[in-house]
């Protein structure tokens, strides 16, 4: 496990008019951080959108997008994934194990967004993952930036079509000039303290 490269992903979701009748566009966005061997931190962004969706669906989509993109690198990673969605973090770190043990059933009935959960689990399965929750809109710079990406994607119905060079630093500076001080960015996770959850079993035949 220590030989696997470590990355940090901060993701968020948005749904304009969530819960209202009619078309509710949504977005998912995230910033991926990686520390190279020289100790230099690099960041890349991603985002996607859907013309008719919900917050919960886009939260899971933020995972699907991220792990689809890192899969293109052809490597396994240790991943620290951070979101302000308790639905997502509890789902991926706890609920899915019970659902899988019961053949993708839950005690209270059908699983909402079942196909998205299954896709997220299968994409995350090759990696070592730790899931972290942060309070939304609470001054966490990377989370606030991911929210910016997701909200913009929902508004514009845009997609990054892959990882792109991050504009995090420019965004943070612009926010400070507007009097919105989000504090210092969270430091890159320490390799020695990384603690993944238990592995996901394969459910595909």
Q: For domain 6-193, which architecture applies? A: 2-Layer Sandwich (3.30)
Tell me the pLDDT tens digit for each residue of 125-136: 999 999 999 988
Other CB atoms within 10 Å distance of the CB of residue 52? 11
What are the boundaries of each domain within the chain? 6-193
Q: Each residue of 51-85: pLDDT tens digit?
A: 999 999 999 999 999 999 999 888 999 999 999 99
What predicted TM-score, i.e. pTM, was given to this entire model?
Answer: 0.94
Per DSSP, what are the bridge partners of residue 81? 9, 131
């Amino acid at each position: 496990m220590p030989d696997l490269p470590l990355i940090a992903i901060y993701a968020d979701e948005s749904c304009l008019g969530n819960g209202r009748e009619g078309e509710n566009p949504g977005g998912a966005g995230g910033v991926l951080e990686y520390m190279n061997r020289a100790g230099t931190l690099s960041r890349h962004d991603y985002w996607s959108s859907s013309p008719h969706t919900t917050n919960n669906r886009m939260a899971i989509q933020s995972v699907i997008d991220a792990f689809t993109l890192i899969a293109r690198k052809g490597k396994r990673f240790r991943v620290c994934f951070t979101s302000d969605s308790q639905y997502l973090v509890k789902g991926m770190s706890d609920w899915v194990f019970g659902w899988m043990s019961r053949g993708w059933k839950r005690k209270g009935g059908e699983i909402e967004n079942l196909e998205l959960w299954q896709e997220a689990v299968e994409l995350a399965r090759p990696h070592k993952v730790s899931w972290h929750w942060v309070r939304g809109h609470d001054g966490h710079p990377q989370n606030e930036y991911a929210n910016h990406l997701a909200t913009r994607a929902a508004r514009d119905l845009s997609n990054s079509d892959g990882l792109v060079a991050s504009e995090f630093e420019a965004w943070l500076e612009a926010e400070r000039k507007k009097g919105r001080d989000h504090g210092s960015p969270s430091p890159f996770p320490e390799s020695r303290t990384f603690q993944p959850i238990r592995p996901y079993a394969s459910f595909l035949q």
